[in-house]
A and B are shown apart, each in its own frame.
Chain A
Amino acid sequence: MTSATFSENFQPEQGSWKRYFSFNTDAKVIGIQYIVLAFFYFLIGGLLAMIIRGELITPASDLVDRSVYNGIYTMHGTIMLFLFIFPVLNGLNNLLIPTMIGAPDMAFPRLNAVAFWLVPIFGTLLISSFFVPGGPAYSGWWSFPPVSIQNPIGTFVNGQGLWITAVALSGVSSIMGAINFVTTILRMRAPGMGLFKMPIFCWTALAAQCLQLVGLPALTGGALMLLMDLSFGTSFYRAEGGGDPVLYQHFFWFYSHPAVYVIILPVFGIFSELFPVYSRKPLFGYVYVALASFIIDFLGLIVWVHHIFPSGVAQWMRNFFMFSTMLIAVPTGVKVFAWLGTIWRGKLRLTTPMLFCLGGLFNFVFAGITGIMLATVPIDIHVSNTYFVVGHFHYVIYGAAVMGIFAAIYHWFPKFTGRMPYEGLGKLHFALTFIGANLNFLPMHPLGLMGMPRRVSSYDPEFAFWNVLASLGAFLLGVSIIPFLLNMISSWVRGEKAPANPWNAIGLEWLLPSPPHEDNFGDFVPTVISRPYGYGSGLPLVENQAAYEQALKEN
């Protein structure tokens, strides 16, 4: 059989843009559905952020009512985490995992589609809470009791109830996704691709999804009990009925601390994929980078109490959780030094994805340093509930994770849309994002050290200077999304046609045409013969690689 059959065997590219609005079981379609929907919610969450920073640009509470402000920051956090960042990462998982491991699709395609369609359902549920009597939930994205179980009598449908239901549904969707991703990675790899020949993105996705499987059920269980307390009058968390409000904090953080690794681990995977491509060097310390993901998993699961040091936990717990938190710096440091080792003396190409990676890495290191500060009990107790914490986690989530996600979108955009993104707009997007993020989140640190509390709509005028800077940074971040959206829409419609491997990268997905066919490799599953990232080694990745490339040219 000649290589021509390779392309003949594929189904022709069928369908149009309409398939992105239908119940489709192709992981690549679902991936794009996830990402586009996530950015829709990102705009809503971002608009709320603009209102928050607009309110805080002056010391007085003059833009929105105080109770409305509580609802806005609660919804901003909830939307950004449950409706933007987890869905966008699931989108990347859907696009990348099957194509990277040489699988035709996910292990359970229909379950995959159901998990996706739950997102608009719980998204609508959550956002509709703006329109119910009493407004949306107002007790913060963590919804700690007793504030969250103050149910106004006679209103069974209320913002807090909708919040809990939406979060529980989000948990169901994520668990479905996690079962699918883990099964796919464990069982559907191409012949020859042992675990230690797997791309690092798949390693980090596996580690992140294992965390979902362990952590999320605890949150779901805890949320169920919260709903009972709120709606049916039980007293799991009601102190007056013998319950323990701190118990909820344990359930919540047992998931929500590891959740930060669910977010950041795939971004570590993106860094590990992109630094070798744009430095033309193999990934430094592949095995250690891969294994560090699971060490982070283990440590991530035993540190949650550092979020509740001031909640009256025992002294021994404070000491244990302080040290276990600090230990995370070790596997994380392994990764950071591996990336530095990879770009060290490499032939750097400062393309948009590479710039986002470098910016994200810079911000992540900064966030890591403030993270160690926060792990230290005396400092934590001083700055807990101040803007220092807000600054720290925004550096992690926006500064590092969202920038990594942008890097991934620009890098794999040609592969899955078949078009090249515009480089100039991409660089403008990067510059605005990097400056905006730092201008927004850096001033939060001095504010926190000075003692400005979070969750307030008015503050002492002595905090005004840093708040004005932060707000300007936020508005710049708001503007930064314009070149991004322009770029995505215009290059998808009329961008230059993308070749199969525009970045000259090594990986199974880059052997496929851009965009890939519906069943990826079809009957022609490649046999993997070497480890990824063999830049400069001259080793082919798969058997008969030249045949594949020949077939792609003819395609």
Chain B
Amino acid sequence: MTFTTPPSSLIVEPQPQPHDEKKHNLTGFIIFLCSESVIFLAFFSGYAVLKTSALNWLPPGVAGLDVHMPLINTIVLVSSSGTIYLAERFKAKENLALFRGFWLLSMAMGAYFLYGQYVEWSGLEFGFTSGTFGGTFYLLTGFHGLHVATGIGLMGLMLVKSFLPGNYEKGEQGVEATSLFWHFVDVIWIVLFILIYLWQ
């Protein structure tokens, strides 16, 4: 290969890779969440198509879904986005005690949501195979519930990590990703609540 302007020297200085692994992890996680949201979008659009084209949407003997309890559930879950935000703020201020407190509160609120869903499911008069309504209802709420459970698991992991000596720095980025995941789960639930409970 020939060059018009040959370099002045033959010296190659070492230049470490300027890569920030924490930022990679967060970028990767955000890309994962974007991809995850498409699965929900597929389910949402499937729900809308099936509902608008159905001749008999609700299974025989089912009048509709009770909105009262899911609404309380929704308020609790959406509020947990606020508590997890506060936890993150205290983490940034290096106030570990308050971080753990609000973090635990968010976990408890998530657990309450799951419990509420369990109570709701056990009182329902239709099953997974009760037509397209039954199938889509359980698929959507179940798939979301799985995400809530995963979120609680991740939060538990971060909480344990915060007690490991010297792991404060390492846990921090996991906290950010977990919190992002939790906000994602909340936003998905809001759409789901509107679609299933309000648009009856």
A residues in contact (CB < 8 Å) with B: 1-3, 5-6, 9, 103-104, 107-108, 111, 175, 178-180, 182-183, 186-188, 191, 213-218, 220-222, 224-225, 228, 232-236, 241-244, 247, 250-251, 254, 501, 504, 506, 523-525, 527, 538-540, 543-551
Contact = CB atoms under 8 A, between A and B. Distances in A.
B166 interface: no
Contacts of A187: 19, 23-24, 27
Nearest to B21: A107
Given A234-B128, A504-B1, A545-B7, A107 B53 contact: no
Given A187-B19, A504-B1, A179 B35 contact: yes
A548 B28 contact: no
Nearest to B28: A183
Given A183-B28, A241-B132, A217 B39 contact: yes
Contacts of B7: 540, 543-547
Contacts of A540: 3, 5, 7
B61 interface: no
Contact of A216 (B18, B19, B35, B132): B35
A236 B50 CA distance: 8
Given A175-B32, A524-B15, 16 more contacts: A1-B12, A3-B12, A5-B14, A180-B28, A187-B27, A191-B18, A214-B38, A234-B128, A242-B55, A243-B50, A523-B14, A524-B12, A524-B13, A525-B17, A544-B9, A544-B10
Given A232-B128, A232-B129, A550-B10, A222 B2 contact: no
| Residue of A111, A213, A234, A244 most packed against chain B (CB within 10 A) | A234
B136 interface: yes
A545 B24 CA distance: 29
A501 B1 CA distance: 10
Contacts of A179: 28, 31-32, 35
B122 interface: no
Given A187-B23, A244-B50, A546-B10, A523 B31 contact: no
Given A183-B27, A217-B39, A233-B129, A1 B13 contact: yes
Given A1-B14, A527-B15, A544-B7, A107 B39 contact: no
Contact of A547 (B9, B27, B131): B9
A3 B10 contact: yes
A188 B19 contact: yes
B24 A107 contact: yes
B49 interface: yes
Contact of A242 (B11, B27, B132): B132
Interface stretch (B40-48, B65-73, B105-113, B173-181): B40-48
A548 B133 CA distance: 66
Contacts, number: 169
B42 A525 contact: no
Given A179-B28, A183-B28, A543-B7, A247 B12 contact: no
B165 interface: no
Contacts of B15: 191, 523-525, 527
11 contacts: A104-B17, A107-B28, A180-B28, A187-B19, A218-B38, A221-B42, A228-B128, A236-B50, A236-B139, A549-B1, A551-B12
Interface of B: 1-7, 9-19, 23-25, 27-28, 31-32, 34-36, 38-39, 41-43, 46, 49-50, 53-57, 128-129, 131-136, 139
Contacts of B14: 1, 5, 9, 523-524
A546 B6 contact: yes
Given A221-B42, A504-B1, A538-B3, A235 B132 contact: yes
A188 B36 CA distance: 24
Instruction: List 4 tightest A-B contacts by C-beta distance, closest first.
Output: A221-B42, A217-B38, A234-B135, A217-B39
B11 to A, nearest CB: 6
A110 B18 CA distance: 20
Given A236-B135, A544-B12, A218 B39 contact: yes
Nearest to B36: A217
B12 A548 contact: yes
Contacts of B131: 235, 241-242
Interface of A is mostly: helix
A75 B13 CA distance: 54
Given A179-B28, A217-B39, A235 B135 contact: yes
Contacts of B3: 538-540, 545-546
Contacts of B53: 244
Interface centre among B4, B12, B14, B53 (most CB of A within 10 A): B12
Contact of B34 (A103, A213, A221): A213
A182 B31 CA distance: 8
Nearest to B136: A236
A221 B43 contact: yes
B56 A3 contact: no
B27 to A, nearest CB: 5
A3 B11 contact: yes
Nearest to A521: B17
B41 A218 contact: yes
B46 A225 contact: yes
Given A9-B14, A251-B46, A213 B35 contact: yes
Contacts of A234: 128-129, 134-135, 139
Contact of B31 (A213, A501, A543): A213
Contacts of A235: 129, 131-132, 135
A178 B56 CA distance: 41
Contacts of A551: 12
A505 B55 CA distance: 64
Nearest to B3: A540
A218 B55 CA distance: 26
B10 A244 contact: no
Nearest to B131: A242
A18 to B, nearest CB: 28
A3 B34 CA distance: 45
B42 A217 contact: yes
Given A213-B31, A232-B128, A504-B1, A218 B42 contact: yes
Contacts of A236: 46, 50, 132, 135-136, 139
